[in-house]
Structure 1
């Protein structure tokens, strides 16, 4: 994949940098070739013409599905998902590189991964198979996005207690499922996810999506001790600081940075308890992906008695509010909004919803896509944890 990276920053691009047209469209990242460094002017990632990027071209209207590491490594499931991309409007895949258990998809050369034994439990043990499939999806004009779960990581958390969130007795704090978390306040804990992201860039990924880029929500949070580093800044400052630093590092690798955030932060003005503040995130990422699943909103949210039964109304209201709030940021410094949409039913709502409970099919999924478009947005990602997607909701190619 080093040849691909050289192609991205080829000498032909360097030679042509002096033209005003090229500078107009290049993202605001520093491009270095030998001793020559040029600062470009515009960081809005959609401004880069796809044809100039060659194999790294960006999809201007990303329409994506989520793909687990297991699915990517499974012969029939992988073929099924690739076929969806070949036959429908889907043109991108968000592929797990590290999941919420800390498990990697492929063997990593990152020293901390090796030392912690993270390579012992990878999803795709055959690295050649992984790279072959990366090449195949790129050859099929599928834009690959690497999903990296950031701070929730029981493998590194238990192996490196110095990087983990502690409890008030000095032990490793665990959430309600027994998971350890890296301490977002501790800048040393930032290195592992960023190094994994840099490695993913060499594997052919064109964008890094940080998920769980937040503080914990579940478990006895009153028993958390963040240490002295937790007294120097707010949670929102810690999270935006991580993303800003990651973005600086990753732009040098020729990839973009996106972040998954809770949908309800769109309705929270200040520093949330998890460190996700909308405007701050909108200034420190290239793409922002709120998870606006209607099933995740409480009864009566946005004035809708049963939010899961009104997918259009919930998504449209959330996206309109997000667009309005981020409009205070200059356009060339503002993240593109690309929401996660719900392609699954929520059986846990049956008790609360009673006879109002519904299952999701093509109508409900398409309603969310329309709601996104009607809010003036052009991109979206479908989430289904089992990677079973509703093809009837998708336009055919």
Structure 2
């Protein structure tokens, strides 16, 4: 939408519109992965004016399940998921690029990944993408960013201590095991993750969904982030801003997985939702009912009330993401049992609750990568 006073026509790509008497016009824009569109206004005499206009990518939505690299390499776990695809119960598969172990599931050509021994070679990325795309499946690549014990240990041993979150004594932060949490403020750590994301987008992953895009939870006064010159929240958001352009250049979307508590406690793990929303195409909050305490969002027993806690928490994220008007909320939902047995009814309750809260897409998480087809209605 815009205004071109005196223009006879306005064009963008193959689309053309005639402005009204006041110069106002509306043009449809086909999304092709670009972040801007060239708009040309032409008057009756043939004079032109051109402007490059930024456009917001809108995610097409998804009904997805999580698959680790090792699960994808197992026909026993892979084929039931492909059956969900063929039965039209899901339209998206989330496949791990780099997981919590710091291992890359396929043979990455990123030099640092090769140097530190990050490649696990569990699956052939091109083969997997071709197989899924042939079935019309949207493929989300999950990239665990800053929890990375492979990069952490290699960096400490090479003397690159600034790449790790440290305690006040200068030792590696040990909250997730020694060397596990790399420093989101370090340029080399950021460049490594963006290089993996860009490589995956170029390979053909449709989305790059970052996980552990945060600081470690715990007392921030006990932590040190070498090189940090702003707040942890802004540094994390700035990383997403740097990454987004590189990912979009290859036609992929960028998402960020966040803690459920981020909507109400943004500084606890450095995930400020309105701030992050400016730099991603969607936010994926992990609103698993089992992870909420009694009374959260006014729900007495969240794990026993999957509909109530999901609807209220997702609605909060939708409200915050809407502050910039372009970011979708695609929640992670619980497809596993913890304190309470979770079957098809509990999964369906969460899906319905998310829809009622304004999020008609979802990702299902089960660390074992086993999913009950009866929880997912064919479309």
Q: TM-score range by the shorter chain?
A: 0.7 to 0.9
Instruction: Report which of the two structures shows the higher radius of gyration computed on alpha carbons.
Output: 2
Please say if 1:23 is aligned against 2:20: no
Please say if 1:254 is aligned against 2:251: yes
User: Which of the numbers 50, 56, 59 marks the counterpart of 1:43?
Assistant: 56
Q: Is the 8 A contact 2:254 2:282 kept in 1?
A: yes
Task: For structure 1, list consecutive stretches of 5 or more residues without a partner in the other structure.
Answer: 1-14, 47-59, 348-357
3-state SS of 1:118 partner: coil
Query: Please, what is the CA RMSD of the aligned residues?
Result: 2.3
Q: Calculate the TM-score normalised by the size of structure 1.
A: 0.81
Q: Is the 8 A contact 2:33 2:252 kept in 1?
A: no
Deviates more, 1:164-173 or 1:276-285: 164-173
Question: 1:359-395: per-residue Cα shift (whole Å, max 9, x none)?
Answer: 1111110000000111122111100000111211111
Post-superposition shift, 1:203?
A: 2.0
Residue aligning to 1:123: 122
Deviates more, 1:16-25 or 1:76-85: 16-25
Structure 1 residues 181 and 158: CA distance shift in structure 2, 3 A: same
Query: Structure 1 CA distance, aligned partners of 2:173 and 2:37?
Result: 41
Residue aligning to 1:241: 238
Query: Structure 2 CA distance, aligned partners of 1:378 and 1:176?
Result: 34
Post-superposition shift, 1:211?
A: 0.3
Residue aligning to 2:316: 321
Deviates more, 1:20-29 or 1:170-179: 20-29
Post-superposition shift, 1:188?
A: 2.4
Residue aligning to 2:61: 61
Query: Structure 2 CA distance, aligned partners of 1:260 and 1:211?
Result: 5
Aligned ranges for residues 88-99 of structure 1 at < 5 Å? 88-99=88-99
Aligned length: 343
Structure 1 residues 198 and 304: CA distance shift in structure 2, 3 A: same
User: Which of the numbers 129, 143, 146 marks the counterpart of 1:151?
Assistant: 146
Post-superposition shift, 1:64?
A: 0.3
Post-superposition shift, 1:131?
A: 2.1
3-state SS of 1:193 partner: helix
Query: Structure 1 CA distance, aligned partners of 2:64 and 2:263?
Result: 22
Question: 1:309-368: per-residue Cα shift (whole Å, max 9, x none)?
Answer: 000000100112222223332x2xx21110000011113xxxxxxxxxx31111110000
Residue aligning to 1:101: 101
Residue aligning to 1:195: 195
Post-superposition shift, 1:284?
A: 1.2
Please say if 1:363 is aligned against 2:359: no
Structure 1 residues 176 and 213: CA distance shift in structure 2, 3 A: closer
Query: Structure 1 CA distance, aligned partners of 2:242 and 2:14?
Result: 28
Q: Is the 8 A contact 1:294 1:314 kept in 2?
A: yes
3-state SS of 1:188 partner: helix
Query: Structure 1 CA distance, aligned partners of 2:81 and 2:94?
Result: 12
Aligned ranges for residues 1-397 of structure 1 at < 5 Å? 17=13, 19-20=15-16, 21=27, 23=29, 25=31, 29=35, 39-46=52-59, 60-119=60-119, 121-124=120-123, 127=124, 130-161=125-156, 162=160, 163-217=163-217, 222-227=221-226, 229-230=227-228, 232-268=229-265, 271-329=266-324, 331=325, 334-347=326-339, 358-397=340-379
Task: For structure 2, list consecutive stretches of 5 or more residues without a partner in the other structure.
Answer: 1-10, 17-26, 39-49
Give the strand-richer structure, 1 or 2.
Answer: 2
Q: Is the 8 A contact 2:321 2:329 kept in 1?
A: no
Q: Calculate the TM-score normalised by the size of structure 2.
A: 0.84
Query: Structure 2 CA distance, aligned partners of 1:216 and 1:63?
Result: 29
Q: Is the 8 A contact 2:34 2:251 kept in 1?
A: no
Give the helix-richer structure, 1 or 2.
Answer: 1
Q: Is the 8 A contact 1:164 1:181 kept in 2?
A: yes
